[in-house]
Structure 1
Amino acid sequence: MLESPRSASRHARIPLPSPRSRGATAGFYLLLGIAYLLVSLWLQRRVLADPGGLLIGHVTADADMFAWWLNWFPFAVTHGENPLLTDWMHWPYGLNALWNTAVPLLAVLLAPLTVAAGSVTAFNAGVILGPVVAGLLLVVALGPFTSGGARGRVARAVAGALYAFSPFHLAHAIAGHLNLTWSVLPPLLLLIAHHLFGRGPLGRPWLVGGLTGLALLGQLLLYTQTLAVGVVFLVITAIVLALRFPRRIREYVPGLARAGVACVGVFAALGAYPLYLVLAGPNRPRSAIRNVHATGADLANVVVPTRMTAVRLTPDDAGTELAGHIGEQGGYVGIAVLALVVVAVLVIRSTTLRVVATVGALSWLASLGTGVVLFGEHLDVPLPWLVFAEIPLLSEIEPVRIQIVTVLCVAAVVAMWIDRMPLSTPATAVGALALTGFALVSWLPADAQEVRPAPVPEFFADTRGALEPSDVVEIYPRITAAWDDGAQGLRWQAASGPGFRIRGGYFIASDPDDDVVLQSRWNRYQVGAQWVADGKNEPSDAYTAQAAAELRDLGVTAVAMVPGRAVDGGDEARVLDWTRRVTGDPGRFDGGVWLFRLPVAAPVG
């Protein structure tokens, strides 16, 4: 259904590339990869001063959570634990990795670095490498849609850079969203769409279907939400093509059916256990984990950039009025790029380009969610994504994150425009080059990436002799989802090996009392600690006894209090006295941590 410069005749014999051409292609990708890596390193150069002691991003909570999961996988494999289930956090109920942003595929790839230099370093490396890999994959995926000469290579290189360092990736990098900086599935699906819909029954449907199943399985082990988005828009692409070429549906159905069988077969066979964990596994949330009606993009973001974009014609503070936090404000396209896309659609006679632009427009509309939000104000205007709001699993998609499909389509349109833009006369050449230049400059990334300190008290570097794997530790300050250091306790536990379990954490799960739990639960000890830290009256002896009994009932064997690290500050001397009262232990101070033992310990299997 789709034509490309390299397949004007679908029935023509395609000569095999010569060793020289293969070498030139490999050299092209190598040089491009180095160039992308240098850009990524420059954007994140602040972390290079101390990659093990700083975290990329404006906040630390999500970064600490990702670092914990990166550490968990190699630990689990080498200690006979299930890498996709754990009770080392959220004890005794445990966590289901497939319902958390556990990125097990990345944990495998980064495991050598995690073991050698720690999970904080691995997290930082992942954020740096993710856009590079994603950009290179788009360069490869655009091969069938551009010419094979120098101009085609320039077109693909520019598009890859646009995708890699797009406003979407810049926004999620500063939010510490490691999973979303690795947006590798959309480019793969673009290439898959070419083989499924561009070559149809002649394109080895069993092989293409099987490889599609592998790609989807890889994304299942990377981030399930992007998997759902990718499948939805692969189907939408098929519908757009069917509407455009209704007479060719019958020709394509047999091949697509075979590809679908192969895809589902490979995905189900190899992903049976991860699928079980998603659909029926333990510790999964029993109700919706987010309000889908509050996770759409701000309509204004399409033309209003954030501080992540270097060239801004709007006031510097305009982005602060957009809905959501900066990590979810990656939908900027801009007037110049929008103009280029419109001109490309009108000028370039290409069905492929117009289909890609159509899918991009539909993805942008979907990213707005179930209703229009303009500069943070919810308007009473329903949108098509309402159809998905009541569908199980699909209702968990945050529509704002569909922006990655829009970014992919914009980059692909730009590539096809550069490859075929009219340069026949001086006037058209000047106009085309000027429009292209303005569009590319409007997406230049700002030097605005940030880092945050990621200190780990010396005590947690080696907890042997003080704590054992059988210990369950209550950490103060309490582990929460608070952006600034709310989840620092996860970083400390990971640094210890982990050498102990923790009762709380920052996660997505359930427990016997709640259908959805997202962070460490309050207990009487933590309530009392907050009470005295805030300068309130001392808890009664009866309440103190109840707090001690509750910790024992929860299986807690020790309390670790880290002075000077409380997110909200407060009177830590009183917290120290309160902890002594609850545990009945004067405590031991070692390596910057007060450790208190409870007199009765519940053994862990």
Structure 2
Amino acid sequence: MLDVSTAAAPVADRPRQVARVRLPPLLLVGLAYLAVSLGLQHRVLGAFTTSTIGDVTGDPDLFAWWLTWTPWAVLHGQNPLVTNWMHYPLGVNGMWNTTVPLLGVLLAPVTLTAGPVASYNAGMILGPVVSGVALAWALGPWVRRWPARAVAGAMYAFGPFLVAHASAGHLNLVWSVFPPVLLRLVHVLFVRGPRRPYRTGALVGLVLAAQTLLYTQTLALGVLMLVVTAVVLAIRFPARVRPALPGLVRAGAACVGVYAVVCAYPLWLILAGPQRPRSTIRDPLYGVTDLANVVVPTPLTALRLVPHGIADTMRANVGEQGGYLGPAMIVLVAVLVVVVRSTPLRIAATVGLVSLVLSLGPSLVVADHETGFPLPWTVLSPVPLLGEAEPVRLQAVTLMCVAMVVGIWLDRLTSIRRLAGVGAASLATAFALLTLLPAGAYAAREAATPTFFAHAAQHLRPGDVVETVPAVTSVWDGGARPMRWQAQADMGYKIVGGYFIGSDAANDVLIEAPVTPYQRGVDDIAARRPVSVPASAAAESLRAAGVTVVVVVPEPDRDTPAVLAWTAAATGVTGTPVDDAWVFRL
């Protein structure tokens, strides 16, 4: 019945109806994750251009350099994947380094307006957010309710793996978007089946190409786990294998074809490009999961139910100790596998277990003790390229699978009405989740730039090749600072030093540029011993490397007058003070 009084009332007197704007659930999840990420990184928010997230390694300065190099190279007609702006004149093969050109392009607006430090910090804050959102999206076929998907995504975004690598400044690993994307591809390729195989395969090829331009190790390990998942599904559903093969073969052909075209040049750089390493980069037992880390949390975890200091006995540094699951979560997953009748849940747990075993490396390490007990990774170690990957990075897949198990369980938990002990199960789940919460905020490191480099364009000439004191080294505590100074000088000069993976005629593997005779003299002065290098040899090495300028930045712990005297002897010129540095132009 029509309400005459309301209908007859003047428009101005009618109650106003406020339209409700409902944001998409995925956007709400992303905003929630962003708030958490900003809270965890609050220490850099007030010094966004003068401090960097992460204080375990020198990698923040390394990533700041590459984030600057990619847009600079594109805008100046340079090759973004091969450069001699460091380690001059030989240069560096970017595809064997953490070049992250994809992020270099995505973050270019920040880099070009606010500088490399701000760009790096923005990437570190956004990486976990995008990774968590990717998992919340990828779980769609198996988890219906958004709260359950949001919790699973948060487990992944702010769980021990990404927290550990955020503390180390590993920008390439806090962007762990690839594993969740592969999870969604598992549904498209193996569960539902590709409805348009060629188009689906082409899209998969583009996904693999994108990851190639983000981090090749994650690509290799992700493809390995995609194969493992296919095998697990084939064992569980053998009758579906033959009908699915034709579509998968067509999709695979399209994938390989598109990937080969898009990544032909990057692949050539990896397989046959200049300055690639010619032997094994690291000890095979360096980048492995310490079994103790699976149950022992690091100081980066809020709830630590173990005596303080036990984490110090584990292999590697805290930035690589991201394998923690904890007894409570392990027991919860084990119980769910037995109790919950869910094939996706059990397959996720199986794949997670396989990834955990593979992450242990070629032989078992417990509390930094090498037991010599052989493990399945031994079979994969000889595989080209895959053998160079660090199996410890598979911890991301393990955590993702555990998050999927929890997400499926939470999705079903609200619909259970008659199961005795639902309350206890909810409390147990909440407790297991609490044991993975990160502790406080990540540390930050000061990243101020000497005034000279902030105004380098006023003091240096186009084409200058600069040797700096301090030199660029792989020392984690600030060794790569001069690379950041070069980036903040808008790549206005080349440097002979560098922190990178590569080689030269005398070294099959390099992690940093070899120490020059000139820098050896500087090291002698720093160690308070007589200079062991003739000035003539230092001068010859500088000229042989094409150095045109030596810039000495005084530091409190270095005998600056002695360094200046040594530099004057090696260059044959008197230094000139410019801002807060000394300049020697050869």
Give me the TM-score of the superposition, normalised by structure 1: 0.91
The answer to whether residue 43 in structure 2 is matched with residue 50 in structure 1 is no
Alignment of 1:123-134 (within 5 A): 123-134=120-131
> Which SS does the other structure have where 2:456 is aligned?
coil
The answer to whether residue 127 in structure 2 is matched with residue 143 in structure 1 is no
* Residue type of the alignment partner of 2:177: V
2:221 aligned to which of 229, 234, 237? 229
Q: Distance in 1 between matches of 2:274 and 2:48?
A: 35
Cα deviation, residue 345, structure 1: 1.0
Alignment of 1:518-557 (within 5 A): 518-539=511-532, 543-557=534-548
Tell whether the 8 Å contact from 2:41 to 2:441 is kept in structure 1 after alignment: no
1:387 aligned to which of 379, 384, 407? 379
Q: Distance in 2 between matches of 1:141 and 1:535?
A: 58
2:232 maps to 240
2:192 maps to 199
1:7 maps to none
> Which SS does the other structure have where 1:34 is aligned?
helix
Q: Distance in 2 between matches of 1:226 and 1:537?
A: 47
1:184 maps to 177
Tell whether the 8 Å contact from 2:473 to 2:512 is kept in structure 1 after alignment: yes
* Residue type of the alignment partner of 1:91: Y
Cα deviation, residue 295, structure 1: 1.8
Q: Distance in 2 between matches of 1:228 and 1:379?
A: 27
1:3 maps to none
* Residue type of the alignment partner of 1:356: A
1:593 aligned to which of 573, 581, 585? 581
Cα deviation, residue 303, structure 1: 0.6
Q: Distance in 1 between matches of 2:154 and 2:246?
A: 37
Tell whether the 8 Å contact from 2:464 to 2:547 is kept in structure 1 after alignment: yes
> Which SS does the other structure have where 1:143 is aligned?
coil
**Which sections of structure 2, spanning at least 5 residues, go unmatched?**
1-19
Tell whether the 8 Å contact from 1:363 to 1:402 is kept in structure 2 after alignment: yes
2:104 aligned to which of 89, 104, 107? 107
> % of aligned pairs identical?
52
1:50-92 deviations in Å (ceiling 9; x for gaps)? 0100010123511100000000011111111111111100101
Tell whether the 8 Å contact from 1:60 to 1:487 is kept in structure 2 after alignment: no
Tell whether the 8 Å contact from 1:135 to 1:161 is kept in structure 2 after alignment: yes
1:564 maps to 555
Tell whether the 8 Å contact from 2:315 to 2:368 is kept in structure 1 after alignment: yes
**Which sections of structure 1, spanning at least 5 residues, go unmatched?**
1-22, 599-605
* Residue type of the alignment partner of 2:152: A
The answer to whether residue 444 in structure 2 is matched with residue 451 in structure 1 is yes
Q: Distance in 2 between matches of 1:345 and 1:533?
A: 59
1:26-60 deviations in Å (ceiling 9; x for gaps)? 52112111110000000000001101000101235
1:315 aligned to which of 299, 307, 312? 307
The answer to whether residue 579 in structure 2 is matched with residue 579 in structure 1 is no
Change (3 A) 1:214 1:443: same
Alignment of 1:20-419 (within 5 A): 27-59=24-56, 61-147=58-144, 152-200=145-193, 203-419=195-411
* Residue type of the alignment partner of 2:48: P
* Residue type of the alignment partner of 2:203: L
> Which SS does the other structure have where 1:464 is aligned?
helix
* Residue type of the alignment partner of 2:539: A
* Residue type of the alignment partner of 1:561: V
> Which SS does the other structure have where 2:190 is aligned?
helix
Q: Distance in 1 between matches of 2:213 and 2:159?
A: 24
Q: Distance in 2 between matches of 1:155 and 1:554?
A: 59
Cα deviation, residue 533, structure 1: 2.7
What is the RMSD computed on CA atoms of the aligned residues? 1.5
Q: Distance in 1 between matches of 2:173 and 2:91?
A: 25
Q: Distance in 2 between matches of 1:139 and 1:320?
A: 34
Q: Distance in 2 between matches of 1:352 and 1:26?
A: 29
Q: Distance in 1 between matches of 2:572 and 2:258?
A: 57
Q: Distance in 1 between matches of 2:58 and 2:295?
A: 30
Cα deviation, residue 465, structure 1: 4.1
Cα deviation, residue 343, structure 1: 1.8
Tell whether the 8 Å contact from 1:167 to 1:331 is kept in structure 2 after alignment: yes
Q: Distance in 1 between matches of 2:241 and 2:565?
A: 75
* Residue type of the alignment partner of 2:542: L
1:6 maps to none
* Residue type of the alignment partner of 1:132: V
Q: What is the count of residue pairs matched by the alignment?
A: 566
Tell whether the 8 Å contact from 1:292 to 1:397 is kept in structure 2 after alignment: no
* Residue type of the alignment partner of 1:308: L
> Which SS does the other structure have where 1:292 is aligned?
coil
Tell whether the 8 Å contact from 1:71 to 1:119 is kept in structure 2 after alignment: yes
* Residue type of the alignment partner of 2:576: R
Q: Distance in 2 between matches of 1:560 and 1:121?
A: 25
Tell whether the 8 Å contact from 2:42 to 2:441 is kept in structure 1 after alignment: no
* Residue type of the alignment partner of 2:186: A
The answer to whether residue 460 in structure 2 is matched with residue 467 in structure 1 is yes
The range that moved more, 380-389 or 242-251, is: 242-251
Tell whether the 8 Å contact from 1:192 to 1:208 is kept in structure 2 after alignment: no
The range that moved more, 210-219 or 466-475, is: 466-475
Give me the TM-score of the superposition, normalised by structure 2: 0.94
* Residue type of the alignment partner of 1:366: L
* Residue type of the alignment partner of 2:136: V
After the TM superposition, which segments of 4 or more aligned residues of structure 1 sit over 3 Å from their partners? Answer: 23-26
1:601 maps to none
Cα deviation, residue 478, structure 1: 1.5
> Which SS does the other structure have where 1:392 is aligned?
coil
